Chains A and B, each alone.
Chain A
Amino acid sequence: MKLHLAIEELHRSEKHLVHVLLGMSDRHKAEHEVFHVTRDLARWSTDHVRDLAAIGQLYGLDLDQETGGEPGALERLQQAASDLFGRRPESGLLLLADLRHLYREASGVSLDWELLAQVAQGARKQDLLKLAERCHPETLRQARWANGKLKEAATQALVS
């Protein structure tokens, strides 16, 4: 049984997604919607990390509950730099690159949830399946947001 591998991998990828989202937020403080929504999206992944750590214990795993979420000095510097450089047209291209990256990361996490759900069904683990059913839709919403935002931002950034 490789159940613990699926949980561990998902825990790692969700934790990484928190960092991707918060890093993006800090880099785009001048893009107000991106700044706020990425922080809200990161809350979901933070919850997922915590829930995965909790359920991991039942499968003999000792996973970190925390993601190290709050911005430190470096992040605050990034926010200030973003405010400063946000008045240049290139900031639109940086945003596209970050949204593209986020979409791929969130899609990866989504695949991991699918894997976990498959494993849970195969192994008849009700608790794991429930967790996947609750969390996976939020991952999909993260990816959809990145996709929608990318479409919205692309034209102006690329034709101007």
Chain B
Amino acid sequence: MPRVDRIAEPWGSRTPYGPGETWPTRVDSYLAGGLTEDDVDRWVQSATILHSNGDGLDIAVKDGRIVGVRGREVDRVNHGRLGPKDLFGWQANNSPDRLTKPLIRENERLVETDWDTAMNAVVGRAKELLEEQGPSAISFYTTGQLFLEEYYTLGLIAHGGIGTNHVDGNTRLCTATAAAALKETFASDGQPGSYTDVDHADVIALYGHNMAETQTVLWTRVLDRLAGQNPPKVICVDPRLTPVARAATVHLAPRPGTNVMLMNALLHEIIRNGWIDRAYVDAHTVGFDELEKQVADYSPEVAAEVCDVPADQIREAARILGSAERLLSTVLQGFYQSHQATAAAVQVNNINVVRGMLGKPGCGVLQMNGQPTAQNTREAGADGDLPAFRNWSNDSHIQELAKVWNIEPMQIPHYAPPTHAMQMFRYAEEGSVRFMYVTATNPAVSLPELERIRAILAQERLFLVVQDIFLSETAHLADVVLPAATWGEKTGTFTNVDRTVHLSEKAVEPPGEARADLDILIDFAHRLGLKDKDGQPLVKWSDPEGAFEGWKECSRGRPCDYSAMTYDKLRGGSGIQWPCTDEHPDGTERIYTDGQFWSEPSYCESYGRDLVTGAPVSETEYKALNPTGNAVIKAAEYLPPHELPSEDYPFQLITGRTLYHFHTRTKTARAPQLQAAAPEVWVEMSASDAADRSFAEGDLLEVSTPRGRVQARLRISGVRPGVLFLPFHYGYWDEPGEHEPAGTEGRAANELTITEWDPASKQPIFKTAAAQATRLESTSGVPSSAPTTTGSRPVTGSVPETRGGTAAEAVETLAAEEIR
């Protein structure tokens, strides 16, 4: 069986295939310490969690410990493949750094305690505040990394039990714009695309989406198409020379913050040349005239000036989009975390809508997620939404939900949109939110402007609860830390970008006294004494399957309908795509077929927002605009970014990610192969900017903005001139400062970012800060340790290639007929 260094070759070996053919299988596996499959006691079904792709895998267990993983050949998502983070990341489960006992703050220090003491402290403070101030004092900040059952329970506790409007997830940072863009165009969340669209598409357009690094297995699928007969054309919009850009037919690298300008120019060309499906537009959409009028002024020449992209390239890209027969569009952080996020992402929808390319093989939009279970945070109502895509401004939806939960409708806050994360932190800053319960996320590294965030979290007047698996930077600031179980140590379901639901079963016991998040939340609800209107406990289940059954009822009849799914059905085979109903018991591969949408006023999740101001559209306005449930074509004008380069800060700073790490590295830095592949922070600059300043590869730079300073070694990469790139993963938990910079210089990219968000999706903007870079010391030819296999690939000098060696060798098993 061939062994491949999967650090050096993140996407593994090619299995080429042609349009309309089935993607060949390739089973990837990695077992620790020279073990073979014969040594494994049992395999336990699950799916991948260090990205959003949702690849089916089995966990290998030996002597009660996880010892490896193997891709599931039968799964529709990955056909057996796994990415480097999946192959190696599970080792973090076994780390000696795991939290094994609750901690409580005593005399300024966190000390170990027992569960009773910890939970009584948490519940006691919550009760005090509910008495003194009411639900407006209480907030929950969750994640995109728990399971559906846990989110649903959390949403029930917070919205239905406590009655607070302050519930959101870190999904606000990653997927809020995906949801917002879908709500604007289709009036409901729900992904129009399917991963199998890759098998059929003749054009794949990736907007701010470095798929090669964020969803490695989906990119493997694209690479296999590119290696096969009649490969698709690829359009890439990205200011960096990413692996996607290198594979692209046309690569557009706009100035950060100008996405709407570029999109409007593409639409301008598509409409001007008549590359639209007029019959589809007439029959299934509203708002086209508005779009036509809006983009009329956005010629490629105008956009070329603003975006600094050649007009001919814009025309060429528009021509390819306009002549595509099966167009798959995908979007991620380059749009979501940039200026005018929702407006830009909506224009991507508009291209597929005006071309009538939805709901057919190869014709889809994937508004991507960043995290494995972000989709569930949205579905289950643990972010700024209500469960099962219910509309907070539709009274009958609130009544329905109250009936499912057996509470009074008044109990569910619906007087305004649920509070988004950035606003929640603002309320904590001004002192009206006084209790924050953080589950499985690390805002002290991931939120913008960290000095401010640390100051908010460290306030004496804020009671901070952190439920996590490691002592993260955020946990260091907590009043109580609750040790949680993680993937492989608890059971639950989660859903990927293309609506595929997987069951992830418990394989081993959690370490020490760590408990499943679901168990902790239910314990919290019971201790708080939360009841329904008949005086019965509000949370009526005690295990994951019970929670799943509760959720199924809540989702019945809504777009994300799970009602015909069961744990048993999810066992053994492939994941299943919702909606899964009695009518479609095996799930539904494509939605929005035949121009049918979930946008009818009484059914839709959202009436939409003003793309520029973010003001919610009222029920009356929406009914007038879209009475019969069509797709809504929304136009947007371009506005310049709010922080522009100046003499003092001549660069634009964008932050981002690398293939080998996830989030704040709490897991990936504890997997030796991944940590070695990208051991320390770096900063990218173009060759021309570096030459102008006589900077060399590996020089130690100080990057600064009005908000802070960061030190990083220079990688001269293919990033566009005028732009600096910093990966956001690196914080302080493995540094002397533990939760903050030890001296005056930090290394977390978010020391530098600006506190600002898109008014429509409320997603913070991480990709348009003005910055300066100066040299602290030059190296004599020692390069930066940034990966060479990815977007940080060097363009100068001789930098050693990133290799994992024998420690990173994983097994690849190709389907018999595919071995050539």
Q: Are B610's CB and A156's CB within 8 A?
A: no
Chain A nearest CB from B170 CB (Å) reads 18
CB distance from A39 to the nearest CB of B (A): 7
- Assuming A89-B432, A152-B416, is B759 touching A33 (CB within 8 A)? yes
B639 within 8 A of A: yes
Contacts of B432 in A (CB 8 A): 89, 92, 156-157, 160
Bound CA–CA A31/B133 (angstroms): 22
Per-residue interface assignment for chain A, residues 126 to 142, with 1 indicating a CB less than 8 Å from any chain B CB and 0 otherwise: 00000000000000011
Q: Which residues of A contact B762 (CB under 8 A)?
A: 33
Complex Cα spacing A96 to B757, Å: 20
Residues of B within 8 A of A144 (CB): 610, 613, 615
Whether a CB of chain B sits under 8 angstroms from the CB of A69 is no
Chain A residues lying within 8 Å of B423, measured Cβ to Cβ, are: 33
Task: Kindly identify which residue among A32, A41, A155 contacts B165, using a CB–CB cutoff of 8 Å.
Answer: A155
Contact with A along B743-765 (1 / 0, CB 8 A): 00000000000011101001000
B136 to A155, Cβ gap below 8 A? yes
Q: Is B38 an interface residue (CB 8 A)?
A: no
B393 to chain A, nearest CB (A): 10
User: A32–B642 Cα gap in the complex (Å)?
Assistant: 11
The count of chain B contact residues (Cβ–Cβ below 8 Å) is 31
CB of A149 within 8 Å of the partner chain:
yes
A145-B430 contact given A151-B415, A160-B136, CB 8 Å threshold: no
Partner of B431, one of A41, A87, A142, A159: A87
Contacting pair B133 A160 (CB below 8 A) = yes
How many chain A residues touch B (CB < 8 A): the figure is: 31
Most buried by B among A41, A144, A145, A156: A156
Q: How far is the CA of A51 from the CA of B759 in the complex (A)?
A: 27
A148 interface hit (Cβ, 8 Å): yes
B residues in contact with A109, CB < 8 Å: none
Is A23 interfacial (CB-CB < 8 Å)? no
**Nearest Cβ on chain A to B395's Cβ, whole angstroms:** 15
Give the nearest-CB partner of B757 in chain A: A33
In the complex the two chains form, is B136's CB within 8 Å of A145's CB?
no
Q: Are A89 and B415 in contact (CB under 8 A)?
A: no
| A152-B417, A159-B136, A160-B133 known; A37 vs B429 contact (CB < 8 Å) | no
Query: Which residues of the partner chain B approach A142 to less than 8 Å between Cβ atoms?
Result: 613
B134 and A159: CB pair below 8 A?
yes
Do residues B415 and A145 form an inter-chain contact, with CB atoms below 8 A?
no
Min distance, Cβ A152 to any Cβ of chain B, angstroms: 5
Contact A89 B613 (CB under 8 A): no
User: How far, in whole Å, are A86 and B133 apart by their CA atoms in the complex?
Assistant: 20
Whether the pair A36, B756 counts as a contact (CB closer than 8 A) is yes
Per-residue A-contact encoding for B408-444, CB less than 8 Å = 1, 0 else: 0000010111010011001101111000000000000
Q: Is A91 an interface residue (CB 8 A)?
A: yes
Q: Does A40 contact B (CB under 8 A)?
A: yes
Given A88-B431, A159-B134, A160-B137: A32 and B757 within 8 A (CB)? yes
- Known A33-B759, A159-B134; judge A87-B429 contact (CB<8 A): yes
The digit string for B348-379, where 1 denotes a CB below 8 A from any CB of A, is 00000000000000000000000000000000
A39 touches B642 (CB 8 A): yes
Contacting residues, chain B, for A147 (C-beta < 8 A): 615
Question: B722 within 8 Å of A by Cβ?
Answer: no
- Residue B741 lies at the interface, judged by CB distance under 8 Å to chain A: no
Kindly state whether residue A30 has any CB partner on chain B within 8 Å: yes
For residue A160, which residues in chain B have a CB less than 8 angstroms away from its CB? 133-134, 136-137, 432
Distance of A1 Cα from B165 Cα, bound (Å): 54
In the complex, which residues of chain A have a beta carbon less than 8 angstroms from the beta carbon of B18?
Answer: none
Task: Give A115 Cβ to nearest chain B Cβ, in Å.
Answer: 23
Measured between alpha carbons, how far is A48 from B346 in the docked complex, in Å? Answer: 27
Asked if A145 and B614 sit within 8 Å, CB to CB, the answer is yes
| Given A32-B757, A160-B136, A86-B430 contact (CB < 8 Å) | yes
Do A141 and B610 form a contact, CB below 8 Å, given A151-B415, A160-B136? yes
CA distance A37 to B756 in the complex (A): 10
Complex partner residue of B426 from A31, A36, A37, A149, CB under 8 angstroms: A31
Known: A87-B429, A160-B133. A37 touches B422 (CB 8 A): no
Q: How distant is the Cα of A110 from the Cα of B757 in the complex, in angstroms?
A: 28
Q: A residues within 8 A CB of B616?
A: 148
Give the distance in Å from the alpha carbon of A32 to the alpha carbon of B465 in the complex: 26
Q: How far is the CB of A77 from chain B (nearest CB, A)?
A: 17
A142 to B614 CA separation, bound complex (whole angstroms) = 11
Residue-wise interface mask of A (116-132) relative to B, using a CB-CB cutoff of 8 A (1 in contact, 0 not): 00000000000000000
Q: Does B44 contact A (CB under 8 A)?
A: no
Q: How far is the CA of A135 from the CA of B416 in the complex (A)?
A: 28
- B592-633 with Cβ < 8 A to chain A: 610, 612-616
Are the CB atoms of A145 and B755 closer together than 8 Å? Answer: no
Q: Mark A12-43, 1 if CB is under 8 A from B, else 0.
A: 00000000000000000011110011011101
**Closest CB-CB distance, A48 to chain B, in whole Å?**
15
B644 to chain A, nearest CB (A): 13
Considering the chains assembled together, what is the distance between the CA atoms of A149 and B610 in angstroms?
12
Q: In the complex, which of the residues B415, B610, B612 contacts A155, with contact meaning CB atoms closer than 8 Å?
A: B415
Q: Which residue of A lies closest to B765 (CB)?
A: A36
A145 touches B615 (CB 8 A): yes
B615 / chain A contacts, CB cutoff of 8 Å: 141, 144-145, 147-149
Contact of A156 among B427, B612, B759 (CB under 8 A): B427
Whether A91 contacts B612 by the Cβ 8 Å rule is no
Shortest beta-carbon distance from B800 to chain A in Å: 43
**Whole-angstrom distance between the Cβ of B533 and the nearest chain A Cβ:** 22
For window 60-102 of chain A, which residues contact chain B by CB distance below 8 Å? 86-89, 91-92
Q: With A152-B416, A160-B136 in contact, is A32–B612 under 8 Å at CB?
A: no
Known: A88-B431, A156-B432. A36 touches B613 (CB 8 A): no
Q: Which residue of B lies closest to A143 (CB)?
A: B615
Distance (Å) between the CB of B176 and the closest chain A CB? 14
Within 8 A of A (CB), among B429-471: 429-432
Q: Which residues of A contact B419 (CB under 8 A)?
A: 156
Query: Which 9 A-B pairs have CB atoms at the shortest separation, nearest pair first?
Result: A160-B432, A148-B615, A145-B613, A145-B615, A144-B615, A152-B416, A160-B136, A32-B755, A89-B431
**Known pairs A144-B610, A144-B615. 5 more at Cβ < 8 A?**
A32-B757, A37-B614, A88-B430, A147-B615, A152-B416
